[in-house]
Structure 1
Amino acid sequence: MYQALHATSATLQKFLGDQIVADNFLYAPGAPYRQRSMAVVLNTPKEMEENTQEGISLWLYRVVRDDQRLNDPPLRTGPHTLKAPPLPLRLHYLVTPLTSRANKGDPDTEQYLMGKVMQCLHSHAVMQGADLQQELSGTTAELHVRLESLCLEELTRVWDALEGSYQLSVSYEVSVVNIDAAQAPEPIEPVLEVIPRAGLIVSTA
């Protein structure tokens, strides 16, 4: 299922959006998040600024192979078929709260939003079952969310690539996201009989 990347992003987006809307402080009548129609979006921070959007940028900026899972065996899909193992991936998201220049940057709201995001992902670090959205819905997938400790230099490189001024941001790693192999399951011959054998260990001394 190659849609797993987008489905993972949609899962995080909906979870964070629902948690913020349910927060009586952030979503109270007259509160900036509600009053200014803020949202959790998948755009880059720069795109949000250009479109004068406010809210949280949940930007997938890096995708890497999970080398620890590369030796997973083929998957048995039936008594007579095996399917190639999926491509295991780790996704890296830059989370940036943004308010527009028209609102003078509003650092208070940005810090409230950042704190809420970090609280939610710390308290609910595994996405599964009813959390899963789109193509992941109804599957047995488990998405593990982990805060990455990036140094200022690493974050600065990301912002240099964005060609934008540095903003308050953090990075999260989500694993494991599987991209299914495109090959159809291969037929195999079933094991019809198992013949146990016994041997005698002879000392060579």
Structure 2
Amino acid sequence: MGGYTVIADVGSSLLKLLREQLAPDPVPRPDMIGVASPVDKGDLALTLYLYSVRENGEARRNELLPQGGVLRYPPLAVDLHYLLTAHSSADLHTRILDEHRILGRAMQVLYDNSVLRSPYLEGTLAENEEELRITSENLSTEQLAQLWHFGDTPYKLSLAYRVGPVLLESNRVKPGARVLERKFTLRDKGG
């Protein structure tokens, strides 16, 4: 569970994993993997783009959490949805094959690390020793094309993944006085 930085911490954690596992082959340098829109790729070979944040109703918690004399409201559970897109600057004859190699390796890495744990966790995720589930989204070509709303840029093969549940802690608290003594009254049932 983390504060407002938890969404950025998830992105940093995914970057750490992908950079460590994809460089130097098939991506020459770790800094060629980054968080960016597929159309604002610059010189990146692989972009990780957060396209949606949705509440995860299955992971929703309702109980107040005791914390230092107060009760903290439960965290908001969300799933983060990412697009991974490969970009090659190779000549036309090998560009698509390079991109397929990058996507294939990225798929392999995310499959092998479908539960992301330390040492890849960053920020508040590392502090709280969280675990993140990484799941491939089974989106149709039409659904992927609908996600691809980047002006007149033509659709480019991308992978969609869901990461979560991610717990965003609440700042709301409720006073919760501790029970200091109990009082019992016993009554005789007879007569």
Paired with 2:118 and 2:175, the residues of 1 have a C-alpha distance of 31
Letter in 1 for 2:177: E
- Show the counterpart of 1:10: 12
Letter aligned with residue 7 of structure 1? D
Q: Aligned equivalents of 2:67 and 2:112: distance in 1?
A: 35
For residue 190 of structure 1, report the CA deviation from its aligned partner. 2.6
Change over 3 Å in CA distance of 1:138–1:60 after alignment to 2: same
Structure 1 contact 16–40 (Cα < 8 Å) conserved: yes
Q: 2:124 aligns with which of 135, 156, 164?
A: 135
Aligned with 2:36: secondary structure? coil
Could you list the runs of 5+ residues in structure 1 that have no partner in the other structure? Answer: 28-32, 196-205
TM-score, normalised by the number of residues in structure 2: 0.85
Name the Cα RMSD after superposition.
2.2
1:13 partner amino acid? L
Matched-pair contact (CA < 8 Å) for 1:43–1:57: yes
Which 4+ residue blocks in structure 1 deviate beyond 6 angstroms? none
Residue 103, structure 1, aligned to residue 91, structure 2: yes
- Which deviates the most, 5-14 or 120-129? 120-129
Does structure 2 conserve the Cα–Cα contact (< 8 Å) formed by 1:38 and 1:55? no
CA shift digits 1:113-143 (9 cap, x unpaired): 1111111111111112322112322213211
Give the C-alpha shift of residue 38 in structure 1: 6.4
Q: What are the equivalent positions in structure 2 for 1:159-178 lying under 5 Å apart? A: 159=148, 161-163=149-151, 164-178=153-167
| Distance (whole Å) between structure 1 residues aligned to residue 19 and residue 86 of structure 2 | 13
For the residue of structure 2 that corresponds to 1:166, the secondary structure is coil
Higher helix share: 1
Residues 1:56 and 2:35 aligned together: no
- Deviation string, structure 1 residues 33-75 (Cα, Å, up to 9, x no partner): 328x861111111001xx3x23111000001011223343111
- SS, match of residue 34 in structure 1: coil
One-letter amino acid of the structure 2 residue matched with residue 188 of structure 1: G
1:66 maps to: 56
Counterpart of 2:175 in structure 1 is 187
Q: Aligned partners of 1:179, 1:94: CA distance in 2, in Å?
A: 22
Mapped contact 2:85–2:156 kept (Cα < 8 A): yes
Query: How many pairs are equivalent?
Result: 180
- The partner residue of 1:19 within 13, 18, 21 is 21
1 or 2 for the larger relative contact order (CA 8 Å, sep ≥6)?
2
**Residue matched to 2:32:** 39
In the alignment, what sits opposite 1:92? Answer: 81
Aligned equivalents of 2:18, 2:183: Cα separation in 1: 53
Counterpart amino acid of 1:20?
A: L
Q: Secondary structure at 2:154's aligned position in 1? A: coil
Aligned-pair CA distance for 1:194: 8.8
Percentage of identical aligned residues? 26
CA deviations over 1:128-177 (Å, ceiling 9, x no partner): 23221123222132111000100011001011x12221111110000011
